[in-house]
Amino acid sequence: MPTLADATLTNGAAPAFVKEAITIYQDVRAKHKAVVAAHGKKDHTYYWTMRGGKLAEFHPPAVPTAAALPAVEAMYNPEIKIKAPKQGSIAAVIDHHTWLMLHDALGEHDAELKRNPQPGDSVVAHREQSRLIATSQPYANAWVNMVPDGTTRTRLSTKQWRAIAQRRVGLHLSATKKALAELHDAGESAADYLGDAITNAPNKSRRHHGGLHGWYDAAVAVATSSVVLGDKENEAAVEQFCAGAVTDLIEIGAGDEGEDVCNEFKAYTSLSGKGEVPGRGTARNGGSVAKVGHRYAFGNQEEAARLDNLGCEERGRQRDGAFDHATGKGWVKARKGKYHDALHVKKNIVCLLIHDPNGGGFNNVAAVKIRRLGRQARRTGVDRTKYAGRRQISFVTHHTQQITAGIVRNEAINIEIAANKIKGDLYKYKIGLERGA
* pLDDT score of 83: 81
Q: Quickly list H helices, 116-243.
A: 127-134, 158-169, 177-185, 196-200, 205-222, 235-238
| Average pLDDT for 223-249 | 87
* pLDDT score of 11: 60
Are 140 and 99 in the same domain? no
DSSP state of 373: H
Least reliable range by pLDDT among 2-11, 24-33, 246-255, 280-289 = 2-11
Residue 77 pLDDT level (bands cut at 50, 70, 90): confident
* pLDDT score of 208: 93
Is the pLDDT reported for residue 46 higher than 70?
Answer: yes
pTM for the predicted model, two decimal places: 0.92
Average model confidence (pLDDT) for the chain? 91
Q: Do 277 and 290 form a contact (C-beta atoms < 8 A)? A: yes
Are 347 and 286 in the same domain? yes
The CA dihedral of 237, 240, 245, 249, to the nearest 10 degrees, is -70
Are 141 and 32 in the same domain? no
Residue 8 pLDDT level (bands cut at 50, 70, 90): low
Report d(CA 73, CA 15) in Å as an integer: 16
Q: Decide if 159 is inside a domain.
A: yes
Q: Tell me if residue 285 falls in helix, strand or coil.
A: coil
Is the pLDDT reported for residue 202 higher than 70?
Answer: no
Q: Decide if 175 is inside a domain.
A: yes
Over residues 240-267, the pLDDT tens digits come to 999 989 999 999 999 999 999 999 999 9
**DSSP codes of every residue in 303-371:** HHHHHHHH-B--BS-GGG-B-BTTTTBSBB--B--TTHIIIIIS--EEEEEEE-TTT-PBPHHHHHHHH
How far from 30 is each of 19, 24, 76, 140, CA to CA, in Å? 16, 10, 19, 29
Q: What percent of the chain has pLDDT over 70?
A: 95
Residue (of 303, 301, 308) closest to 340 by Cα position: 308
How far from 381 is each of 224, 255, 387, 393, CA to CA, in Å? 11, 19, 15, 16
Residue 237 pLDDT level (bands cut at 50, 70, 90): confident
Over residues 306-361, the pLDDT tens digits come to 999 999 999 999 999 999 999 999 999 999 999 999 999 999 999 999 999 999 99
Residue (of 87, 93, 27) closest to 60 by Cα position: 93
Are 15 and 41 in the same domain? yes
Residue 184 pLDDT level (bands cut at 50, 70, 90): confident
Q: How many CB atoms lie within 10 A of CB 161?
A: 16
Report d(CA 66, CA 71) in Å as an integer: 9
Among residues 41, 73, 108, the one where a domain terminates is: 108
Q: Decide if 433 is inside a domain.
A: no
Residue (of 293, 315, 313, 311) closest to 302 by Cα position: 293
Are 31 and 129 in the same domain? no
User: Domain range spanning residue 266?
Assistant: 117-428
Are 104 and 121 in the same domain? no
> Pick the residue with more confidence: 56 or 188?
56
Q: Quickly list H helices, 381-394.
A: none
Over residues 97-136, the pLDDT tens digits come to 999 999 999 999 999 999 999 989 999 999 999 999 999 9
Q: Do 58 and 96 form a contact (C-beta atoms < 8 A)? A: no
Are 159 and 77 in the same domain? no
Given strand 261-267, what is the order of strands in its sheet?
227-229, 249-251, 261-267, 349-355
* pLDDT score of 1: 46
Among residues 59, 89, 108, the one where a domain terminates is: 108
* CA angle centred on 410, ends 370 and 173, rounded to 5°: 120
**DSSP codes of every residue in 182-203:** HHHHTT-----TTSHHHHHSS-
Domain count, the chain: 2
Q: Decide if 36 is inside a domain.
A: yes
Q: Decide if 434 is inside a domain.
A: no
Least reliable range by pLDDT among 50-54, 98-102, 141-145, 199-203 = 199-203
Q: Decide if 94 is inside a domain.
A: yes
Are 221 and 267 in the same domain? yes
Are 247 and 289 in the same domain? yes
Are 226 and 336 in the same domain? yes
Q: Decide if 435 is inside a domain.
A: no
Rg for the chain, CA atoms, rounded: 26
| 248 φ, ψ (degrees, to nearest 5) | -70, -45
Per residue in 340-368, is it b (16+ CB within 10 Å) or e — as a string? bbbbeeeebbbbbbbbbbbbbbbbebbbe
Q: How many CB atoms lie within 10 A of CB 100?
A: 18
* pLDDT score of 232: 76
Are 166 and 141 in the same domain? yes
Among residues 51, 84, 108, the one where a domain terminates is: 108
| Average pLDDT for 379-408 | 91
Q: Decide if 237 is inside a domain.
A: yes
| 35 φ, ψ (degrees, to nearest 5) | -65, -45
Are 137 and 260 in the same domain? yes
* Helix (H) / strand (E) containing 265: strand 261-267
